Amino acid sequence: MTKTAPLPAQFAAKSSIIKELLINTADENYVVARTCFHANLNVDFFWLAVHCLEKYLKAVLLHNGHSAKSYGHNIVELYKDVRPLAPELLPPNLVRPEGMPQELWREEPVVEFIERLHKDGQADNRYQLFGYVRRAEDLWKFDQVVFSVRRLCQPLEAHFLYKERPGAPNDTKREWMLKDPRSWNLHGILESVIEGGRGETVRHAFLNWNRPFAPEGYHHTETDYRSASREPVLVRRLFDPLRAGPENFREADELWEWVNRNIQLPKWLVNEIEEERIRLKETHDVEKHERKIGS
């Protein structure tokens, strides 16, 4: 047992700001993300999944004496800085839930899953600039990550009851969570949803097949394990004509010029498109040269 740390100055006010700006809105994003997954609305599933994790991770930092500025929506960098705060409370790997077919589960470290989630759900991909691949097990991995991160959204070295009480252990919140891995109640929106405060439809959307959060004995309704993917329209429209042959180069160049001039694209994506366009054109030049030599 370690000595509990005093609460920071203006804790009540700071905690209220963190909860209302980040935790409560992340809770709502999480409920809707799960709904989108089951409805096969994958663009919004990925965006909301990243958005909610971003907020939870920022709440962890703020509650434990760190700034949450300068990260933007980058959950990879956020998780990298949150993990050292409580490595013993964050699982290194994701575990196949009971009942999920073994053949549909791919072993994946948490860090790699977060990187993949960020790739498909980052802000730029709200416009489907580079498509996505949704695996059958992604929701169940997402639930595990949210469960482990969300419960850290509190001052880890503070007394688990915020102040000592007669007869109660003098444990920090960190120690209490190690003793009770199911301890996660933040008295927020998710807790209200589980108690039925947002209606049965929302409650079931959140709890159905949610292994970490669902109460023991909860009746889950039928679900499926589907995968999905989407190729970005920019690949089809910008690259396919170049693959087809030099007779399409002029129209392909004009279309790319219009896209680049009128649609906001991240600089790294513009560079990748330019490089791929050059590569595809050079491929045709090489093929033409080889045919000439062969003749």
Residue 2 has what pLDDT?
A: 61
Residue 43 has what pLDDT?
A: 95
**Does 286 score more than 80 pLDDT?**
no
Q: Indicate if 109 and 36 belong to the same structural domain.
A: yes
Smallest CA-to-CA distance from 47 within 107, 111, 134, 105 is with 134
Q: Indicate if 156 and 117 belong to the same structural domain.
A: yes
Burial readout 27-52 (b: 16 or more C-beta within 10 A, e: otherwise):
bbbbbbbbbbbeeeebbbbbbbbbbb
DSSP 236: I
Domain that holds residue 157: 11-228
Residue 1, domain member (yes or no): no
Q: Indicate if 111 and 218 belong to the same structural domain.
A: yes
Residue 163 has what pLDDT?
A: 81
Q: At 50, is the pLDDT very low, low, confident or very high (cuts 50, 70, 90)?
A: very high
Q: Indicate if 133 and 168 belong to the same structural domain.
A: yes
- Chain mean pLDDT for the chain: 91
Domain boundary among 179, 213, 228: 228
Please say whether the beta carbons of 139 and 50 come within 8 A: no
**291/232 Cα distance (integer angstroms):** 33
Q: At 69, is the pLDDT very low, low, confident or very high (cuts 50, 70, 90)?
A: very high
Smallest CA-to-CA distance from 104 within 135, 132, 133, 134 is with 135
Residue 2, domain member (yes or no): no
Q: Indicate if 169 and 273 belong to the same structural domain.
A: no
| 50-54, 107-111, 223-227: least confidently modelled range | 223-227
Q: At 285, is the pLDDT very low, low, confident or very high (cuts 50, 70, 90)?
A: low
pLDDT tens for each residue of 127-170? 888 899 999 999 999 999 999 999 999 999 988 888 878 877 88
Residue 81 has what pLDDT?
A: 97
Residue 4, domain member (yes or no): no
Domain boundary among 208, 228, 248: 228
Distance from the Cα of residue 7 to its chain's centroid = 30
Q: What token pair was written down for 57?
A: 């991770």
In the chain, % helix, strand, coil (3-state, to 5) comes to: 60, 5, 35
Domain boundary among 201, 228, 255: 228
Please say whether the beta carbons of 280 and 243 come within 8 A: yes
Share of the chain above pLDDT 70, in %: 96
Q: Indicate if 153 and 96 belong to the same structural domain.
A: yes
Q: How many CA atoms lie within 13 Å of 40's alpha carbon, on the beta-carbon side?
A: 8
Q: Indicate if 178 and 245 belong to the same structural domain.
A: no
Provide the terminal-to-terminal Cα distance of the chain, rounded to the nearest Å: 82
pLDDT tens for each residue of 177-189? 999 988 899 999 9
- Residue 158's SS3 state is strand
- Give the total number of structural domains in the chain: 2
Please say whether the beta carbons of 46 and 141 come within 8 A: no
pLDDT tens for each residue of 242-270? 999 999 999 999 999 999 999 999 999 99
pLDDT tens for each residue of 94-103? 999 888 888 9
**Does 212 score more than 60 pLDDT?**
yes
Residue 223 has what pLDDT?
A: 83
Residue 183 has what pLDDT?
A: 87
Q: Indicate if 282 and 154 belong to the same structural domain.
A: no
pLDDT tens for each residue of 3-49? 778 888 898 999 999 999 999 999 999 999 999 999 999 999 999 99
